[in-house]
Chain A
Amino acid sequence: DGGITQSPKYLFRKEGQNVTLSCEQNLNHDAMYWYRQDPGQGLRLIYYSQIVNDFQKGDIAEGYSVSREKKESFPLTVTSAQKNPTAFYLCASHFLTGQTGYTFGSGTRLTVV
């Protein structure tokens, strides 16, 4: 079955550590996205990529980095510069034609310990 796989489901980060969240899709979608979800704040866009080897910052990109070396993969690194990383992270993808909607992964919950 086609879909988006996010891993791990739960992730714990120590102060000063970089961690990487994985997002893989087998839908042949062109574009991929990372959103952050905090209670009461809705979903906020971190980064997105509409083509391999290219990506754009979203509204809250500071402290995060991404890469898009393959069409199927869009990993997100939460760096030590991100001062408040505890949140639920969601990856999404879709066709740029817009004829189909976005598909989301099941999310990764990141907690600072």
Chain B
Amino acid sequence: KQEVTQIPAALSVPEGENLVLNCSFTDSAIYNLQWFRQDPGKGLTSLLLIQSSQREQTSGRLNASLDKSSGRSTLYIAASQPGDSATYLCAVPPGNTPLVFGKGTRLSVIA
């Protein structure tokens, strides 16, 4: 059964720092990997989708990488801002089945 682990569970950084969030998964037979952002009491907002054939995706200050063979993905946030404070979730679909989520990393960016 696919398991997704996110490290660290919580992270607090000063504004302007570059940071990396980690995601690992146990079954490398994935179609893609998706990173989401969740603000308190809100739904999930998709940040980046990496197909299994890709190594990375970029959107603005965000860059996500995927290494299927090692079962790892990282989300890199450049020049962090207080508005980046949220919980970040990664999720993978085992084959063509529903997404399995990690428990998330709660990020606080201090001004």
Residue among A42, A90, A100, A101 making CB contact with B102, cutoff 8 Å = A42
Q: Report whether B101 and A42 are in contact in the complex, using a CB–CB cutoff of 8 Å.
A: yes
Encoded as 1 (CB less than 8 Å from any B CB) or 0, chain A from 61 to 74 comes to 00000000000000
A residues near B98, Cβ cutoff 8 Å:
33, 45, 48, 58
- Kindly state the separation between the CA atoms of A41 and B87 in the bound complex, as whole angstroms: 13
- Kindly state the separation between the CA atoms of A41 and B93 in the bound complex, as whole angstroms: 18
Total chain B interface residues with beta-carbon distance under 8 A:
22
Q: Report whether B43 and A42 are in contact in the complex, using a CB–CB cutoff of 8 Å.
A: no
B99 CB within 8 Å of chain A: yes
A57 to B: closest C-beta gap in Å: 11
Interface size class of A (residues with CB under 8 A): 20 to 34
Q: Report whether B49 and A100 are in contact in the complex, using a CB–CB cutoff of 8 Å.
A: yes
- Chain B interface residues toward A at CB < 8 A: 31-32, 34, 36, 41-46, 49, 51, 89, 91, 93, 96, 98-99, 101-104
24 A–B pairs (Cβ distance < 8 Å), ordered by A: A6-B43, A42-B89, A42-B102, A42-B104, A45-B98, A45-B99, A58-B98, A92-B44, A92-B99, A98-B31, A98-B32, A99-B51, A101-B32, A102-B34, A102-B99, A103-B46, A104-B36, A104-B46, A105-B43, A106-B42, A106-B43, A107-B41, A107-B42, A109-B41
